């Protein structure tokens, strides 16, 4: 039994759980199940203590408890319909939606579950649930997914304004370092160019790039040059992506310095 779990107090919830498991499964098996539950609780204790975005629930919150197939639409999976209905009509009405069992079931209105690792096909699939969670994350404005999608959206807007992203522009992959994927695109006239820097490793990588002080960062309004080296340098975090843009001489010299 994990040390973080104590059921020495006969009135504690843990003691009551032990008594119930013993009455259902017998002393030996009940103790084993209790131990397994304790292990799971200890493993996920930190995550369980984290408050959801916006803090703990209060009297101001309202939760909708519903079945996965409560809302129907011809030819559409009920989970998708429920997600769309919630977005249109419940965004400012309820704080969250709690789905009653959506697994394959045999009886008891879905509560007699046959497989906790599957979604009842009549309701939809895991992708429908994942899409709902993705939309929730993006709406929060604080998640990692939001940051990734915002940068991607910024890049998409920049691509429309950069001639070097034209499908007919010249493109070269530059062999700089095994940890980097570097691509240079330039207009036919050679004036405008963009440089894509992709760190495909779990390490920090610092580059010195000729003419970096004259570049603009497409994913940020700031110029990425730093005064740490004689030549302008740029540090890529693990798995980071940067796109630089310029007009004039191309950055033909890229040197890894760290």
Is the separation of the CB atoms in 257 and 233 below 8 Å?
yes
pLDDT digits (tens, 9 = 90+) for 201-228: 888 888 888 777 777 777 764 444 433 3
Q: Give CA–CA dist 159/166, Å, rounded.
A: 8
Task: Report yes or no on whether pTM surpasses 0.85.
Answer: no
pLDDT digits (tens, 9 = 90+) for 103-120: 898 888 888 888 888 889
| Alpha helices (H) in 90-188, listed in sequence order | 126-140, 144-161
pLDDT digits (tens, 9 = 90+) for 138-193: 566 666 656 666 777 777 777 778 888 888 888 888 888 889 898 888 888 768 88
Q: CA 174, 180, 181, 185 torsion: positive or negative?
A: negative
Residue 179 has a CB neighbour count (10 Å cut-off) of 16
In the 8-state DSSP scheme, what is residue 75? T
Q: What share of the chain is helix, strand, coil (3-state, %, to 5)?
A: 35, 20, 45
Give me the pLDDT at residue 230, please.
Answer: 45
- Whether the pLDDT of residue 2 is over 50: the answer is no
Order of strands, sheet of 254-256, starting from the edge strand that comes earlier in the sequence? 233-236, 205-209, 254-256
Burial of 218 by CB count in 10 Å (0-12 exposed, 13-18 middle, 19+ buried)?
buried
Q: Give CA–CA dist 130/127, Å, rounded.
A: 5
Please report, rounded to a whole number, the percentage of residues in the chain having pLDDT higher than 90: 0
Radius of gyration for the alpha carbons in the chain, expressed in angstroms and rounded: 27
Give me the pLDDT at residue 165, please.
Answer: 84
Is the separation of the CB atoms in 233 and 258 below 8 Å?
no
Q: CA 131, 43, 110, 116 torsion: positive or negative?
A: positive
Element (H, E) at 48: helix 45-49
Q: E-strand spans in the chain?
A: 63-66, 96-99, 105-107, 112-113, 170-174, 180-186, 192-199, 205-209, 216-217, 233-236, 241-247, 254-256
Give me the pLDDT at residue 7, please.
Answer: 47
In degrees, to the nearest 5, what angle opens at C-alpha 252 toward C-alphas 184 and 235? 75
């Amino acid at each position: 039994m994990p040390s973080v779990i104590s059921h020495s107090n006969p009135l504690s919830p843990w003691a009551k759980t032990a008594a119930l498991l013993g009455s259902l499964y017998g002393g030996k098996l009940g103790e084993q199940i209790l131990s397994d539950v304790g292990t799971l609780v200890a493993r996920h204790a930190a995550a369980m203590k984290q408050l959801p975005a916006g803090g703990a629930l209060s009297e101001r919150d309202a939760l909708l408890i519903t079945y996965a197939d409560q809302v129907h639409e011809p030819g559409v999976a009920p989970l998708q319909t429920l997600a769309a209905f919630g977005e249109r009509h419940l965004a400012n009405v309820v704080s969250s939606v709690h789905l009653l069992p959506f697994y394959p079931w045999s009886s008891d209105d879905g509560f007699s579950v046959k497989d906790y690792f599957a979604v009842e096909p009549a309701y939809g699939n895991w992708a429908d649930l994942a899409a709902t969670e993705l939309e929730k994350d993006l709406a929060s404005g604080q998640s990692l997914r939001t940051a990734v999608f915002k940068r991607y959206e910024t890049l998409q807007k920049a691509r429309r304004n950069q001639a070097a992203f034209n499908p007919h522009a010249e493109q070269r992959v530059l062999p700089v370092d095994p940890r980097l994927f570097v691509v240079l695109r330039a207009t036919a006239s050679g004036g405008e160019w963009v440089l894509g820097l992709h760190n495909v490793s779990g390490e920090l990588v610092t580059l010195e790039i000729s003419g970096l002080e004259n570049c603009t960062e497409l994913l940020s309004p700031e110029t990425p040059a730093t005064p740490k080296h004689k030549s302008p340098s740029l540090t890529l975090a693990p798995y980071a992506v940067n796109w630089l843009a310029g007009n004039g001489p191309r950055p033909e010299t890229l040197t890894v310095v760290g």
